[in-house]
Amino acid sequence: MNEADIVTDISRVPNLVRKPRRSQADRSAATRAKVIAAARDVLCAQGYSGATMHAIRDAAGMSLGAIQHQFPTKAKLMAAVAAEFSAYRVRVYREAIRRGRTPRESMENLIDANFEMISRPEMAAVLEIHLARRNDPDLDREVGPSTRRFDRRVRLWAYSILHAAGIAENENNLSVQLLNNAVTRGLTVEHIRNPDAAFIERAVRIWKNQMLDLIFGAGE
């Protein structure tokens, strides 16, 4: 057999080199990610009441049994959606604060990073989840712990920035944080109703300047 015959013969041999099979853990993680993404999309499009397990099943393109193997209840799935977005926000906020060269700059970066979340579908999805908690004890029980951990972390970051600036945490600053949360949620709703980026950016710019002046003093 000459060289040409060998090449021709090899070309007829089936490709026996197979990719290594993914581990069970990898497959499980991929399934979870797919279900969470589907739940987020359905929440954004149809709201909490429309985000039934059957609707999420259809969006994910998998069986209800496969979904319930990962998330036995809707409340647990909603908690996973909220927790994943909280983890993402923590990473973004931490990096934003680290980029600041002064306490005021760190606070400004944190405010900017927060308002950049408004246009993300996860923000609308999580807002739907939190609104539903008041009438769903199981949902509140599942979502509450990770939400409280996230809120404590953000509050500690804000306290650290104020401490570095020599500003004591007081009722006025706590009220500003409460107002900022309310503005964030309100603008998220506005983005859902009318995603006019220029309109929202102007509102954010006005509020950010007001917030910085309230915390650090006008003209600082």
**Residues 178 and 89 reside in one and the same domain:** yes
Give residue-wise pLDDT tens across range 86-141. Answer: 999 999 999 999 999 999 999 999 999 999 999 999 999 999 999 999 999 999 99
> In this structure, is residue 16 part of a structural domain?
no
The verdict on 99 and 173 lying in the same domain is: yes
14 inside domain: no
Which band of pLDDT confidence, cut at 50, 70 and 90, is reported for residue 14?
Answer: low
Last residue of a domain, one of 72, 91, 110: 72
In a domain, 7, yes or no: no
Is there a single domain that holds both residue 35 and residue 116? no
Same domain, 197 and 148: yes
- What is the Cα–Cα distance from 93 to 110, expressed in whole angstroms? 6
- pLDDT reading at 26 higher than 60: yes
- The parent domain of residue 35 ranges over 22-72
Residue type, 64: L
Give CA–CA dist 133/174, Å, rounded: 24
Residue 123 pLDDT: 95
Whether residue 58 is found in the same domain as residue 165? no
Token couple for 28:
């499980």
pLDDT score at 89: 97
Same domain? For 103 and 146 the reply is yes
Helix boundaries (H) for the chain: 3-11, 24-50, 53-60, 64-70, 74-99, 103-116, 121-132, 137-164, 171-193, 197-216
Question: What confidence score (pLDDT) does residue 20 get?
Answer: 64
| Residue 39 included in any domain | yes
Identify the DSSP state of 117: G
Residue in 62, 52, 3 with CA at minimum distance from that of residue 28: 62
Phi, psi (degrees; rounded to nearest 5) at 81 = -60, -45
- Counting the structural domains of the chain, the total is 2
pLDDT in tens, 156-210: 999 999 999 999 888 888 899 999 999 999 999 999 888 888 999 999 999 999 9
Binning pLDDT at 50, 70 and 90, where does residue 42 land? very high
What pLDDT is recorded for position 25? 80
Give the residue with greater pLDDT, 20 vs 174: 174
Backbone torsion region of residue 219, taken as left when φ is above 0, otherwise alpha when ψ lies between -120 and 50, otherwise beta: left
pLDDT of residue 24 exceeding 90, the answer is no
| CATH label of the domain that carries residue 29 | 1.10.10.60
* pLDDT at residue 28 is higher than 90: no
- In DSSP notation, 26-45 reads HHHHHHHHHHHHHHHHHHHH
Do 114 and 205 lie in one domain? The reply is yes
Q: In this predicted structure, what is the pLDDT of residue 194?
A: 83
What does the alpha-carbon distance between residue 201 and residue 75 come to, in Å, rounded to a whole number?
34
Same domain membership, residue 218 and residue 150: yes
